[in-house]
Structures are given as C-alpha cells and as structure tokens.
Amino acid sequence: MDGKKVAGATVAAILAVPLMLVGTVVVLGGAEARAGTCAAPASSVDGDSIPAEVAGFSDVQLTNAAALIDQAKRLGMPLSAQILVVQAAIGESSLRSIEYTDAVGTVNGVAITIGILQQDESYGPRSDRLDVAKAGEAFLSRLRGVAGWEGLEPSIAIHRVQRNADPNHYAKYRTQAVQLVEALSGSKVGGGACAGPGGSVIGQVQGDWANPLPGAAVTSPYGPRSAPAGTISTGPLASFHYGMDFATPGRPGTVLAATDMKITVASDADGGTGAGTHAVGKTLDGKLTIAMYHLAAGSLQVRVGDTVAAGTPIGTEGATGNVSGRHLHLQFFVGSYDNPWTPNEPTTDPAQILEEKGVL
C-alpha cells in the first residue's frame, strides 16, 4: 500500500569504535557462489513447523509469507524470487491480505488496489487478489516477464512489477524478507546475498543531498572528545572524533546515501578496524568520500560498483564493531579514495556540509 503506486581536521577513520566483536556474516564466498545460491531452486515450507515469530511478524503474517514462498517453489522459480515476493508483500501490506488501500489506490471511495500485494483490476477478480496464493502467483508471473530481473537491485526488480512511485520503497524490507525466507524454508542466504551484482545505477542521480538517518538525533559531533566508555581507542582516535554519530530513538533507522556516490566498499567484515558492517562511497564530483560505519550485520542493500542517488537506502543502523551502542558513525574524507582510514586521509566535519545543503 503506502500511497506510492502509480498506473577542518585532517585524519579520519572510525572513532571510538571497539576493535572487537565484529559479527561477521560470510556471504557464501564471492560473486560466483552468491549467484549460484540466489539461482538455487526454491525450498518448500513445512506448514507444521512455522515458528511463533520471525523478524517481528507472527500468526497470519507468517502463514501468508509461507504461502508466497510456496508459490515460487510451485512455479519453479529460484530462491531469489521467494525473497522478492515476500519483500514486496511486506512493503505493500505488512503481509496481510487487506481490503483497503491509500488515496492513490482509491477511486470514488472504492479501493482498487487490494490484497497482500495491493494489486489492481488488471490482476483479475477481487477474490483472486485477496487470495494470498493467487496474488503471489500473479506477482511472480509478472516478475518472470521483467528482463534480467535476477540481476537487478531487489527493490528495483519489485518496482518493475509493482510500479511504486518510489522505486527504492521496498529496499528497507530486504533484511526482514531474507530472515523470513530463511526461517520458513530452511534456506540459507547470508548477509547481502541475492541482492544483484554491483554496477547498478540506483535512483535518480541528479546532485541532490539527503539526511543520512532521518528521524535520528546527533549524539556525538565531529571534534575533540574522550573515547566513549566501553570502546577501545588509541592514538589520535582516543581524543578526537573524526566523524559524527546519529542514533534513532526507539528502533533502528534506515541509513541513506547523503548524496550521489559510487560504492567502493560494502562489507560485513571490518578486518579488525572496528567499523563493523560498513559502506563507503565516493561522491561523483570526486570531492568527498563518505563512510558509514556500524550498520546492522546483513543489512547492506548496495554492492561495490553501484552508483546510488541521494536518499538510496544503504543499510540499517546497527551496533557492529567497536561501539558502546546502536548508532550510525558518518565520516567525510576530503578527496576521492577507494577505502580510506584514519589517520591516513584527511577528514572534515560532516555537519557543516549537511547543514549547508539544507538536510540537517
């Protein structure tokens, strides 16, 4: 549903971020292995062993997810299709077959887009669109008709079927979809797998800027500070914060690209640096390299080589690496680097630039 359908300082690194437990998720060993896993045959769901709760969903939501997963299996489609149909349904209805919609899907007071996948009359009679299995089959049949869907960024692949006003709308539901498919079908995906190859252009690249963590508060600015309790920091990191920290109240937020950039690092492993799950991107004008540290393990939605527009979801705010709590550490390096670290490359205060651009 969701109303969007349309017919100063030098040196840089991670600051005060523990050099310890970095929950590493192995992504099945490289692009070839990843592609093989994503193309693997779909698995069925054992209806007698559905858990009580997965990824915040329960009861009829899990039953509905299982029905969608089984439709992909019945149609002979791969594991990646199972994840996509569940991801789409989370984004449209939170996995409920609903008879209502938003203003965009309503004509003369009557809901036109309905059901678990918010489908319009082109998908068939009302009863079919409210039938979870039939709605899933209809989505998957149209997905098959999308040229090269297996290689598209997941939200873009879904968008080609659903035609949401925001092609990136479904990206934030990726992690939950993977968790559901793994828990219900027994398949093992691994962080970031089945997300399409790098080299995609995601979103409208037009020089815009965006708040990197909407709804979050700045919890630690750029500049001098003592290392936070519970972290391990030595040398220049012990007395200076080379980035700025954001934290979202209540629940983890979605980390967004602050501006258009080309992704040079997207990894659940930090090599002992303390960054945790992190992504790095170079602005297209070559003036800045932007690093985003401590994302939730397995939440990355971009790949090395992708060019992403401002506002593109990168991953989920987390607490991986050398940290004392959940937050995003945002770091701006001055210049263009593939994989910059403090104290090797100069940094600048992100707040000054974000405020200048009107997004903070």
3-state secondary structure 214-227: CCCEEEECCEECCC
Residues 6+ apart with CB under 8 A from 127: none
Residue 61: what pLDDT? 95
Residue 105: what pLDDT? 55
CA dihedral sign of residues 138, 163, 157, 278:
negative
Largest CA distance in the chain: 67
Residue 107: what pLDDT? 59
What whole-number distance in Å separates Cα of residue 124 and Cα of residue 131?
11
Query: 38 vs 32, 91, 205, 224, CA distance in Å?
Result: 10, 21, 28, 46
Do the domains at 30-185 and 201-356 have one common CATH topology?
Answer: no
Give the position of tokens 């995601």. 202
Residue 139: what pLDDT? 97
Residue 268: what pLDDT? 83
Q: Name the DSSP letter for residue 284.
A: T
Q: Which amino acid, 184?
A: L
201 by Cβ neighbours in 10 Å (0-12 / 13-18 / 19+) ranks as middle
Q: At what angle do helices 154-162 and 132-144 cross, to 10 degrees?
A: 110
What whole-number distance in Å separates Cα of residue 89 and Cα of residue 169?
12
What whole-number distance in Å separates Cα of residue 142 and Cα of residue 333?
43
CATH superfamily of 201-356: Glucose Permease (Domain IIA) (2.70.70.10)
Nearest to 282 by CA among 269, 299, 265, 302: 265
Residue 67: what pLDDT? 95
CB distance 181 to 83 below 8 Å = yes
CA 152 and chain centroid, separation: 14
What is the chain's length?
Answer: 360
Residue 39: what pLDDT? 62
Residue 136: what pLDDT? 96
Residues 6+ apart with CB under 8 A from 167: 155, 156, 159, 203
CB distance 170 to 164 below 8 Å = yes
H or E, element range at 220:
strand 217-220
Q: How many CB atoms lie within 10 A of CB 121?
A: 11
Give the position of tokens 């409208």. 204
H or E, element range at 89:
helix 79-93
What are the structure tokens assigned to 207, written together?
């020089």
Q: At what angle do helices 174-185 and 79-93 cross, to 10 degrees?
A: 120
Residue 25: what pLDDT? 29
Q: What are phi and psi of 193, to 5 degrees?
A: -70, 160
With a cut of 50, list the residues of the chain below it in pLDDT: 3-36, 190-193, 195
**What CATH number does the domain located at 30-185 have?**
1.10.530
Residue 189: what pLDDT? 67
Q: Any idea where the domains of the chain sit in the sequence?
A: 30-185, 201-356
